[in-house]
Structure 1
């Protein structure tokens, strides 16, 4: 065992033994002085610690010191009642404090008890209770602030983890302190009871058992009682003071001494006013003139010295600032930091800042957190950190969304307005400012707060500005998620499932496919909005087929067929007939005939006029489906699906193309058209 473990065990065990076994007065003197020393160590640690968590063990320490002190109380009481003597320390305290006068000793002792019990203990208990409640109430807000900083890139994962642990430690500590202060209060109460027992019991024993005169017994046992009370209450007072210091400690910058001097004696004019006041009191009142004038001179001199230091510090700061500016001009510019490109940025004008500022009630940062969570659940991919920054070059109500530093979309909002959109069945129009919804470019109207209730009653879809920005950002991220998926992201996804699927990963990577080839397959899936959350199924399919082909487009088709249940659930509602458009077998044959295989992969060598004819036919069918209010879905044979998607992807980005092998057997389809030429 370590020496500190042995010491700790003895510190706990000895008090328990002393509650039962009598101890010699010499050993009692040693332990009483040791108890006073430990109390002083705790007091000065509490005084100079930078923050409360530096003494996180304090609640446990409070219990241990209370037990130790109470055991000494019991031992000294036993010696007082049995032998009329409790050692040199107890007797010295009893005689010295009262100066030989019993009344003075008793008065001083009771004043000490009142100070501890009513002032320090009561205040510490109340502060601990309030601090614990406010710490627990503030936890959700602190957690959200950490998530917001993490999402904006202000801190990394390690720092976020450290802050969360600190918040948890604070809540545990202050909750424990709320209960631990009850030990201090109980200790003071027990001290009063033991004092009364010592006094009354000692006098009774002295008169009845020992046959002493009542005055002699009163003198002897009063001194011993005062001494015993003082040697236990002084450490208790020090511990109570330590408790008050810890729970009221607000500054975390440095120890209490530095903060005290800086905050009390940092403003020269305050010291000047105090000095003049002291001089006035000495001259114009009966107070001791000499003492008041000495204090006046000291305060004014201190104020003058501090003013000189402040002026010197201001000059040094000015010189240092000028030197730094000159050094910046002379030093070659460090452009390395400018080379980094944020994956996703949301820039906004100064008029939108209140939406992103938590102090002004903005919740845009919280919505960004929810966007990352929503896309992770929906598509199985972790969205990179979204950088939010204001840009004074933009219009006040304008915002721009950038992907890898390049603007891909923008919008404009009216801060104190709501956007109302007609879902298609509202007949009564509402007055407002015409606009377009930025995510899907649907016609909309800006309305005021007073019009909101009426618009909703008429059937309009009404959204607030933060929801508009969040929806727009979500759609942009969803449409560009395939570009944002890096090799490192893929490696992280592999690592997440590796522990539970060691055999699969060891077979697939890097024996059959590299991380880059897996990345390409996942990007193909994300490009068409297919979730990659079921990574085990995806990797199982890749492992089954990578031995025969390493063409990532072909492997993507195999994976899509393995995910047919998810694809069917996404595009074909259960227990409903779904209208689709099919592809003419002749066109399928022509497309397959035009496919050319090379070492770099396959490409389509189709005549431009034939391609245009196909696109025109697709447009007719898509328009027909949209007029019927249905999603345009085209079903093809498995072998031609990916080539047909490549032909149509440029002109019809939202067109859904699925093969027969990607449709679950229980799905009911109805063909309402055919792409033909």
Structure 2
């Protein structure tokens, strides 16, 4: 019942306020509404002082409009009664006679002072603060959203907390935008009060003389005092609402109300209070200055300073005692050592002058790009990239960064502030520092941001600092994906498949393979750049192959065979797969020299034949790349794993596929033949 009443109260009240503009009111009812208006203004002022953050009073902009409309409606109703009856109720009459002592001059002066205070000081300042606050809040909104996403990605908050913070950021932007408009209502109300008062003065003077036959002095005294009373009755709640507006827009988010914060923050500086009290007493001792007021105020301030100082000393002593009690003992425990020994799986270390890359307040978007990278790699490789810890270090050179896996540096680069990376040739006339792009080894130059257009005119590809770092990080993660796939990650992947395909998982683990063995297979696939996103096909293939044996090469080849179309699709372009083949004689020699070992199949080639195979493969790859091709090397399934191990240290960018993995729907285009005789001749 209470909820339904609260839902109906405000709409009915707004409709009633509109009716006040056209329906005459009895003076007694007008008194009641004036009392309600003043009381509501006082209540809103007190609420604005006790809230801890502006969003706790998010309805305030709407209340400004409603109360402003109520105040103007009361002005219209009071004007109607004053001009018609020469009487507008006891409240307005008492304000016109008792509050200003029945003096028209005093009433006008007080009214004008209130208008000046409200219009020129409080309303004007609050409007400016609301405007700036709305602008800054909107500008900071993307950075706050990115900071929330960064906390979510790093695991500091969960999804529900992130959703709540995003809603707060949106609500804050909406609130300050509404306050910017709401302050205009208060400002317009002050202007309307002056206009209404002037109209009432002129209208009352004319009615008193022309219709009621009063003398100019009597008409001025009667109607003008009522008009001043009406103006004061309206301006007092308007002034209170203006003060509440100023308090709301200047209020920062804290853990206490305004009074508590003021007492705590002022009391935290007892030295300033001591000086202020002594200064007040010193002023009172000057010749010709009344001594009693200044001495009393100075003594009171000194007393407050003394109490706050002793309270601060006790609080500091208590804090030290608690800190000493909670301080860890000098003897290091195993748990504390384990915490310090913990190594982050993936880490980006920045030089101190690169911290702006992760500071959303100055436009840093690195953390947001890391989040996008995690999603991209998950969809591309089937690997959930571990959270990236970002920190700064004085050990790095200026403008440098380092990418580390399990505490070991695997990549390093530079991203000087105020510069962009221009990649291209003929950049001699562009100012900047020559460098080498860290991922593809392309020649480039770090040029000032101001010279970006100049570099583009020379045909260079211009990349911002965050893109350089995130591209480097992506390459590092793809290259070392096998190292980043931990046992817990594999368990999470298995459980994910279990939820959708429980039979597939039950057949595989733990009946046929352990989690560790599944991890080794997935790591081997990732090491060759094969996506493990289709885990259902991988697990089905492993279930069939594991019954015949648990050798790693056999399990990996079975998985690759199941993923053959997807593997080919990775390297195919427009339905065409460019391949390098083996010379038939060499192919037969490789098959005959394949030898199984405990660590997998190896190729036992005589003399320097292995080196010539590597050299020939490298030559054919370079020749193909010069024509813009990106070929793969195809070979018999029996030697694929062994041949890959032979070539990987020297030609890591050359994929090795077996004939069984080739998708028959693709068109095959041969770009070269690996021939030992050719390598010898070269």
TM-score (norm 1): 0.78
1:622 to 597, 601, 617: 617
1:567 to 560, 565, 571: 571
In structure 2, the partner of 1:312 is: 314
Task: Provide, for residues 176-227 of structure 1, a one-character-per-residue CA deviation record: whole Å limited to 9, x for no partner.
Answer: 1111111111222222232233333333333333344443332222222122
In structure 1, the partner of 2:670 is: 669
Task: Provide, for residues 156-186 of structure 1, a one-character-per-residue CA deviation record: whole Å limited to 9, x for no partner.
Answer: 5554444433332222111111111111112
Measured at CA, do residues 85 and 169 of structure 1 come closer, stay the same or move farther in structure 2, by a change above 3 Å?
same
| Displacement after TM superposition at 1:568 (Å) | 0.7
Structure 1 residue ranges without an equivalent (≥5): 597-601
Counterpart contact for 1:32–1:231, Cα < 8 Å: yes
1:197 to 177, 196, 199: 199
| Displacement after TM superposition at 1:242 (Å) | 0.8
1:226 to 225, 228, 231: 228
Counterpart contact for 1:372–1:383, Cα < 8 Å: no
| Displacement after TM superposition at 1:322 (Å) | 3.0
In the aligned structure 1, how far is the partner of 2:56 from the partner of 2:422? 56
Task: Provide, for residues 296-350 of structure 1, a one-character-per-residue CA deviation record: whole Å limited to 9, x for no partner.
Answer: 323333333333333333333333333333x5348966447568653312356xx
Measured at CA, do residues 169 and 456 of structure 1 come closer, stay the same or move farther in structure 2, by a change above 3 Å?
closer
Task: Provide, for residues 523-565 of structure 1, a one-character-per-residue CA deviation record: whole Å limited to 9, x for no partner.
Answer: 5553322456xx6xx4786699789667664243222324533
Matched, 1:353 2:352: yes
In structure 2, the partner of 1:528 is: 528
Counterpart contact for 1:98–1:106, Cα < 8 Å: no
Measured at CA, do residues 108 and 419 of structure 1 come closer, stay the same or move farther in structure 2, by a change above 3 Å?
closer
In the aligned structure 1, how far is the partner of 2:418 from the partner of 2:36? 71
| Displacement after TM superposition at 1:38 (Å) | 1.3
> Which structure 2 residues correspond to residues 377-416 of structure 1 after superposition, within 5 A?
377=376, 379=380, 381-390=383-392, 401-403=403-405, 405=406, 407=408, 409=410, 411=412
In the aligned structure 2, how far is the partner of 1:112 from the partner of 1:417? 52
2:90 to 88, 91, 115: 88
Task: Provide, for residues 48-71 of structure 1, a one-character-per-residue CA deviation record: whole Å limited to 9, x for no partner.
Answer: 222222222211121121122222
Matched, 1:581 2:581: yes
In structure 2, the partner of 1:599 is: none
Measured at CA, do residues 261 and 74 of structure 1 come closer, stay the same or move farther in structure 2, by a change above 3 Å?
same
Counterpart contact for 1:148–1:369, Cα < 8 Å: yes
In structure 2, the partner of 1:18 is: 20
In structure 2, the partner of 1:557 is: 561
171-180 or 83-92, larger mean C-alpha shift? 83-92
In structure 1, the partner of 2:550 is: none
In structure 1, the partner of 2:549 is: none
Task: Provide, for residues 30-81 of structure 1, a one-character-per-residue CA deviation record: whole Å limited to 9, x for no partner.
Answer: 2221121111111111112222222222111211211222222222222222
SS of the residue corresponding to residue 85 of structure 1 reads coil
In the aligned structure 2, how far is the partner of 1:301 from the partner of 1:664? 92
Task: Provide, for residues 382-433 of structure 1, a one-character-per-residue CA deviation record: whole Å limited to 9, x for no partner.
Answer: 4221112356788999876443x3526255879899999999x99x9xxxx9
In structure 2, the partner of 1:328 is: 329
SS of the residue corresponding to residue 288 of structure 2 reads coil
308-317 or 23-32, larger mean C-alpha shift? 308-317
In the aligned structure 1, how far is the partner of 2:458 from the partner of 2:74? 80
In structure 2, the partner of 1:29 is: 31
In the aligned structure 2, how far is the partner of 1:223 from the partner of 1:496? 81
Counterpart contact for 2:52–2:253, Cα < 8 Å: yes
657-666 or 82-91, larger mean C-alpha shift? 657-666
Aligned residues between the structures: 647
SS of the residue corresponding to residue 268 of structure 2 reads coil
Counterpart contact for 2:436–2:445, Cα < 8 Å: no
2:304 to 281, 297, 302: 302
| Displacement after TM superposition at 1:99 (Å) | 1.4
SS of the residue corresponding to residue 671 of structure 1 reads strand
In the aligned structure 2, how far is the partner of 1:585 from the partner of 1:604? 27
In the aligned structure 2, how far is the partner of 1:181 from the partner of 1:199? 28
| Displacement after TM superposition at 1:87 (Å) | 1.9
SS of the residue corresponding to residue 250 of structure 1 reads coil
In structure 1, the partner of 2:245 is: 243
Counterpart contact for 2:486–2:519, Cα < 8 Å: yes
SS of the residue corresponding to residue 284 of structure 1 reads coil
Counterpart contact for 2:346–2:403, Cα < 8 Å: yes
40-49 or 135-144, larger mean C-alpha shift? 135-144
Measured at CA, do residues 457 and 225 of structure 1 come closer, stay the same or move farther in structure 2, by a change above 3 Å?
closer
| Displacement after TM superposition at 1:125 (Å) | 1.4
| Displacement after TM superposition at 1:620 (Å) | 3.2
Measured at CA, do residues 605 and 567 of structure 1 come closer, stay the same or move farther in structure 2, by a change above 3 Å?
closer
Measured at CA, do residues 422 and 133 of structure 1 come closer, stay the same or move farther in structure 2, by a change above 3 Å?
closer
| Displacement after TM superposition at 1:584 (Å) | 3.8
95-104 or 620-629, larger mean C-alpha shift? 620-629
549-558 or 307-316, larger mean C-alpha shift? 549-558
Task: Provide, for residues 565-593 of structure 1, a one-character-per-residue CA deviation record: whole Å limited to 9, x for no partner.
Answer: 34313xxx888x95623364884797599
In the aligned structure 2, how far is the partner of 1:509 from the partner of 1:8? 61
In structure 1, the partner of 2:134 is: 132
657-666 or 242-251, larger mean C-alpha shift? 657-666
Task: Provide, for residues 122-174 of structure 1, a one-character-per-residue CA deviation record: whole Å limited to 9, x for no partner.
Answer: 11112211221222223334344445555555555554444433332222111
Counterpart contact for 1:148–1:366, Cα < 8 Å: no
Measured at CA, do residues 360 and 36 of structure 1 come closer, stay the same or move farther in structure 2, by a change above 3 Å?
closer
In the aligned structure 2, how far is the partner of 1:495 from the partner of 1:43? 56
Counterpart contact for 1:582–1:675, Cα < 8 Å: no
Counterpart contact for 1:581–1:675, Cα < 8 Å: no
